[in-house]
Structure 1
Amino acid sequence: DCIICMERLSCPSVYEVPPECSASLQPSADGSLQCPSCKTIYGEKTGTQPKGKMEIYSIAKPLPGHPDCGTIQIIYSIPPGIQGPEHPNPGQPYTCRGFPRYCFLPDNDKGKKVLELLKVAWTRRLIFTVGTSSTTGEPNTVIWNEIHHKTEMLTNVSGHGYPDANYLDNVLSELASQGVTEDCLKVDAHTSAM
């Protein structure tokens, strides 16, 4: 039976859905199909991140808590612009306070996996969005979008630095909640091998 309307499902195909349920299964605003029961994302979620640039560098110096490896530095650059139809106030300008943004990962196996997944999230426009800053209250500005980053390399004054033994696992969970998992890397590797 359908978990939404409780009607008997007459066909196993997900495309033949009772009419009263079809509204619940339409693609969401983020471009994905999400099960209303388990919240699993089916399809590829895309966000509303404005255009910009993601650069990656290696630094020999280790991060606190990761003495056995160097550091991966990510630099995100997004210029100010005009909001598109996917943003809160289409046609209005948006600002980009604090850019470029510098972020850091340990240059070990798990850090490299997180980096590859962040590249997928960047391509899918999931890392930033346009909204109201929770820090300053400024509206119509580029803000983080539910995927936490470490923005302090050698200190942890703001809580966005190292050491943080749980960070890599936490960010992997946040990426997965956006539909960005290791399966995405396997698909990309398979596609590029063809």
Structure 2
Amino acid sequence: MGSGQSSDKFHCNRYLNGQGPPSLVQQGPSSNERVNGMHDAVNGCQPEGQMTWVILHRDLPGFPDDNTLQINYIFADGIQTEKHPHPGQPYAGLRLCAYLPDNREGRRILKLLDKAFNQQILFSVATNQDGEDVVTTASIPLKTQADGGSSADGYPDADYLKTVRKLLKDKGIE
């Protein structure tokens, strides 16, 4: 964030009391909100977590005329339930940021990711290479770096938005 920008552009802490605005799906396609809801996962394979997003006033490589949507996912440490690989055992939580361009297609993908999060298909509990159970992304790739190219999960990546839209569609998210 540049020093000439107002701090009122970011309201992340505004919804920490759990009283966020309506979901992206409820808001419809004409929403201009700068910050959107917190969603609690309550059932499905994905552990309980939160999804929030903000607009960063900077561009992503490959999208020089657009701001950036930063999506924040937070999963606390927890105990696995019967829907996870090792019920009764602990798992390590996750804090993850993902990025999209703030343009028409980026907002469309954001709404689809919001829907997928609410249907609990974006994340799962899995065993990592060290034998620890952790929250991890499922089968939908997320851009976790703003830059560095596709090999570093960043931008530029000309096919990313199209690829994610197709993968979500294949899972019934449209």
1:8-157 matches, cutoff 5 A: 47-96=44-93, 99-133=94-128, 136-156=129-149
Mapped partners of 2:56, 2:120: distance in 1: 26
Per-residue CA deviations over 1:157-180 (Å, capped at 9, x if unaligned) read 852000000000010111112211
Per-residue CA deviations over 1:38-91 (Å, capped at 9, x if unaligned) read xxxxxxxx8411111101000110000001110000010000101011111111
Q: TM-score, normalised by structure 1?
A: 0.64
Mapped partners of 2:57, 2:148: distance in 1: 17
Instruction: Tell me, yes or no, if the aligned pair for 1:132 and 1:143 is still in contact at 8 Å.
Output: no
- Name the CA shift for 1:137/1:173 in 2 (closer, same or farther; >3 Å): farther
Unaligned runs of at least 5 residues, structure 2: 1-42
Structure holding more strand per residue: 2
Unaligned runs of at least 5 residues, structure 1: 1-45, 182-194
DSSP 3-state at the match of 2:144: coil
Mapped partners of 2:151, 2:78: distance in 1: 28
Runs of 4+ aligned structure 1 residues displaced above 2 Å come to 136-139, 154-159
DSSP 3-state at the match of 1:77: strand
Amino acid in structure 2 at the alignment position of 1:155: G
Amino acid in structure 2 at the alignment position of 1:65: G
Instruction: Tell me, yes or no, if the aligned pair for 2:44 and 2:119 is still in contact at 8 Å.
Output: yes
State the 1:138 CA deviation.
Answer: 3.4
Mapped partners of 1:83, 1:177: distance in 2: 27
Question: Highest CA radius of gyration, 1 or 2?
Answer: 1
DSSP 3-state at the match of 1:121: helix
Percent pairwise identity: 39
Per-residue CA deviations over 1:72-113 (Å, capped at 9, x if unaligned) read 0001000010101111111111112xx310110000100000
* Cα RMSD, aligned residues only: 1.5
2:154 — aligned with what?
A: 161
Q: TM-score, normalised by structure 2?
A: 0.72
Instruction: Tell me, yes or no, if the aligned pair for 2:150 and 2:157 is still in contact at 8 Å.
Output: no
Mapped partners of 1:157, 1:177: distance in 2: 22
Mapped partners of 2:82, 2:158: distance in 1: 40
Per-residue CA deviations over 1:121-153 (Å, capped at 9, x if unaligned) read 1111111001123xx443321111001000111
> How many residues in Structure 1 have an aligned counterpart in Structure 2?
132
Mapped partners of 1:172, 1:144: distance in 2: 16
Amino acid in structure 1 at the alignment position of 2:162: D
